[in-house]
Structure formats: C-alpha cells, structure tokens
Amino acid sequence: MLGRLNHVAIAVPDLAAASAVYAKTLEAEVSTPVDLYDHGVRVVFVHLPNTKIELLEPLGDDSPIARFLEKNPAGGMHHLCYEVADIIAARNHLLAQGARVLGDGEPKVGAHGRPVLFLHPKDFCGTLVELEQV
C-alpha cells in the first residue's frame, strides 16, 4: 500500500528562522511559504535529492499544531508523509484494519494540491502519519 516517503514534517515556532537554518546553515533549497488555511498551518518545503522536509508554523488561532508547540517549544518532528496510489482504497483498508483516520475521514487538499489524510499516532507507533495520493 505504501509508496515513497514524500516528506518528513517538522513543526517550528518561527518559520522564517527555521527556513534560514535550512537555507543558510544547511545550504538547502527552501521554497517560498504557502498558507494552508484548511490545515491551520503555513509551510515551506526543503527539497532534498531523495525526499522533502516540510517546515510548519501555526496559522490562525485554532491551529492543530499549536498544542504540539506548547509541548515542544523549540519545535520537533511532527509527522511522516507516505505516498499512496489510491487514497480512498487506502483509507478503506485502514478502517477495516481498525486504524483511526483523523477528522471526518474524508481527504482534504494538501500542500501539493493532492488529497491527503492523517492517521492517529497511537495506531502507528506513536507517529502521526499523513497519506498523500500521488
């Protein structure tokens, strides 16, 4: 079911500062910021030869990553994103396996304009998992 690792996401308190760490200190290619109002986050992508790093900061008052940053004020690894060929088939398989899909269970449009879903971290080794249809 799982395809490639699409990205590793890191929640940060200050996206401009985090972008500078990746662009200047680590000399990586960093995208311009994108506001994802549906997800309550502002993101940039760091492009690596084999995958991407997504840097996230809260957008709006009820951002889902606000509580994460209260617990991890310096930032921290937030989720892994795996590619799937058919997100509805993947969701139905996971639900049949007893896994929990977050939200209303319907895919939302993610940072790359493609459908995404998030899976409960308690069902996946303590790690929040994003699935992206590619």
State which residue, 96 or 125, has the beta carbon closest to Co ion: 125
State which residue, 81 or 87, has the beta carbon closest to Co ion: 81
Burial of 36: CB neighbours in 10 Å, binned 0-12, 13-18, 19+: middle
Q: 65 and 53 in contact (C-beta within 8 Å)? A: no
Q: Using only the alpha carbons of the chain, give its radius of gyration.
A: 15
State yes or no: is 70 an active-site residue: no
Find, among 43, 23, 25, the residue nearest to 34 by Cα: 43
Summarize as ranges the residues that interact with Co ion (CB under 5 A).
Answer: 9, 54, 81, 130
Q: To the nearest whole angstrom, how small is the minimum distance from the Cβ of residue 9 to Co ion? A: 4
Q: To the nearest whole angstrom, how small is the minimum distance from the Cβ of residue 32 to Co ion? A: 17
Choice among 29, 57, 70, 130 that is catalytic: 130
Q: To the nearest whole angstrom, how small is the minimum distance from the Cβ of residue 80 to Co ion? A: 8
Q: Which residues are catalytic?
A: 130
